[in-house]
């Protein structure tokens, strides 16, 4: 049930972050999972964390789809994900400790590529080698794992069940990467033989979970199941369409759901974009509306803007409609879920970027060359603050008039409908749109 006693319409939805990640996708996926039968993750790895708050209990998930919190929901990790098997085991242990049963409802594509310890080691070496030109990687081995995938040398989950093939692949990787791995300190050295033995020892854990994700989703759809497609990171971190090279190594946009799970576009009924009421970004890279003043610090503090995966403080800034229009276009966003509106309660005035100035000219779209993004100067429209708490509000009419004006302006400018509005971290701190 939604906060007004109604029900969400059952349809296959893709959930994407519309900014640079950390928009609050975990909560939205948790809410929309109620009306889905299957929740399927389609890209990324444990370089992102989804935080869910239920009855004062906080759950932070990195690999397992957020729908696992709901009893009876089937969760699927697709081939577009890169999965660290040892981090995955830790996440399973966390679920066990809090009494969440995942047996017979958590599955992984046989084609999912695995992150190996040497991927993590290489990630750190490569980032440190960039010096001041670092791209802000989390150091979790995501990029090097995707590199091996694209080179067609990656280790897939299916390889765990062929000891000879796995041994040969690990051996080849260790030999080919030796020149870099030799630079590691003694306590980070990779023992190939020991790694193979550890991976083979995981067979019994992964055997009940391995599946043909594409076939599973196809058969489920024919049986009338409703699917929620869950992404990680945000659209502006997409390796093709984001702020390259300051991005992640996968397709974080809605198109990634197709290739990351082996489905056709006809299986998707609606694309939901998650929009934080202001903007944040973690790590390096351009950020036109970034605030370097006390307002930025206030947003960081009020919004608890620290990474769920790394703990790194997030950079904060005003909402950027130019960037959001770009996201709406490249994702085909139908509706938006606006999160963290309550964080803005403390501000006397709120700014929204409506255009950029680049080389002395006004532009209404992101620059064609994403390397010019750093040279864009924001042009702002200013709104009066509402000077009233919106935390925990559950109906639209309860919102202050100025807050409604702010939300309405965003939707009109983006030419999208609002699905929901989040006014706090808990499930019940949500305003559902009447047509949600």
Q: What is the C-alpha R_g of the chain?
A: 22
- Kindly report the backbone phi and psi dihedral angles of residue 355, in degrees, each rounded to the nearest multiple of 5, phi listed first: -165, 170
Q: How far is it, in rounded angstroms, from Cα 400 to Cα 403?
A: 5
Neighbours of 345 (CB within 10 A): 17
Question: DSSP state, 346?
Answer: G
Q: How far is it, in rounded angstroms, from Cα 211 to Cα 230?
A: 18
Q: How far is it, in rounded angstroms, from Cα 49 to Cα 56?
A: 18
Tokens in use for 333?
């966003």
State the catalytic residues.
22, 50
Strands (E) located in 359-429: 361-363, 377-384, 417-422
For 129, residues 6+ apart whose C-beta sits below 8 A from its C-beta are: none
Q: How far is it, in rounded angstroms, from Cα 141 to Cα 199?
A: 17
83 touches 109 (CB < 8 A) = no
Tokens in use for 397?
């009419």
> Residue 226: which of 259, 267, 273, 256 has the closest Cα?
267
420 touches 433 (CB < 8 A) = yes
- Kindly report the backbone phi and psi dihedral angles of residue 50, in degrees, each rounded to the nearest multiple of 5, phi listed first: -105, 120
179: left (phi over 0), alpha (psi -120 to 50) or beta: alpha
Tokens in use for 255?
């198109």
Q: What share of the chain is helix, strand, coil (3-state, %, to 5)?
A: 40, 20, 40
Q: How far is it, in rounded angstroms, from Cα 40 to Cα 17?
A: 15
**End-to-end Cα spacing for the chain:** 11
277 touches 343 (CB < 8 A) = yes
Q: How far is it, in rounded angstroms, from Cα 25 to Cα 31?
A: 10
Q: How far is it, in rounded angstroms, from Cα 290 to Cα 369?
A: 20
């Amino acid at each position: 049930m939604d906060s007004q006693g109604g029900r969400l319409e059952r349809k296959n939805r893709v959930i994407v972050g519309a900014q640079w990640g950390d928009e609050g996708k975990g909560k939205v996926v948790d809410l929309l999972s109620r009306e889905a039968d299957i929740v399927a993750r389609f890209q990324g790895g444990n370089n992102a964390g989804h935080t869910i708050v239920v009855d004062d209990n906080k759950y932070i998930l990195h690999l397992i789809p957020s729908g696992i919190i709901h009893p009876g929901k089937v969760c699927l990790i697709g081939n577009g994900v890169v999965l660290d098997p040892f981090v995955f085991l830790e996440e399973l242990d966390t679920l066990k400790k809090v009494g969440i049963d995942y047996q017979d409802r958590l599955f992984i594509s046989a084609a999912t590529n695995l992150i190996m310890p040497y991927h993590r080691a290489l990630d750190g070496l490569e980032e440190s080698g960039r010096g001041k030109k670092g791209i802000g990687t989390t150091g979790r081995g995501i990029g090097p794992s995707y590199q091996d995938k694209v080179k067609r040398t990656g280790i897939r989950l299916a390889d765990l069940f062929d000891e000879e093939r796995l041994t040969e692949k690990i051996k080849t990787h260790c030999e080919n990467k030796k020149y870099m791995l030799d630079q590691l300190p003694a306590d980070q050295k990779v023992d190939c033989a020991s790694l193979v033995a550890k991976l083979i020892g995981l067979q019994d854990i992964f055997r009940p979970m391995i599946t043909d994700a594409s076939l599973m989703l196809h058969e489920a759809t024919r049986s009338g199941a409703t699917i929620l497609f869950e992404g990680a990171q945000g659209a502006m971190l997409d390796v093709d369409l984001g702020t390259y090279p300051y991005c992640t190594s996968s397709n974080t946009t809605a198109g990634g759901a197709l290739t990351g799970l082996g489905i056709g576009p006809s299986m998707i009924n609606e694309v939901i974009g998650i929009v934080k009421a202001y903007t944040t970004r973690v790590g390096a890279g351009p950020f036109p509306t970034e605030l370097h003043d006390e307002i930025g610090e206030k947003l960081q503090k009020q919004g608890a803007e620290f990474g769920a995966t790394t703990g790194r403080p997030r950079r904060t800034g005003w909402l950027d409609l130019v960037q959001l229009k770009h996201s709406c276009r490249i994702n085909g966003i139908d509706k938006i879920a606006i999160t963290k509106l309550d964080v803005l309660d403390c501000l006397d005035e709120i700014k929204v970027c409506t255009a950029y100035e680049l080389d002395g000219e006004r532009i209404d779209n992101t620059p064609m060359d994403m390397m010019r993004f750093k040279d864009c100067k924001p042009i702002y429209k200013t709104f009066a603050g509402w000077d009233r708490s919106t935390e925990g509000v559950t109906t639209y009419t309860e919102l202050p008039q100025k807050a409604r004006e702010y939300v309405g302006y965003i939707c009109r400018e983006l030419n999208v409908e609002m699905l929901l509005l989040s006014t706090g971290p808990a499930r019940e701190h949500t305003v559902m749109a009447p047509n949600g």
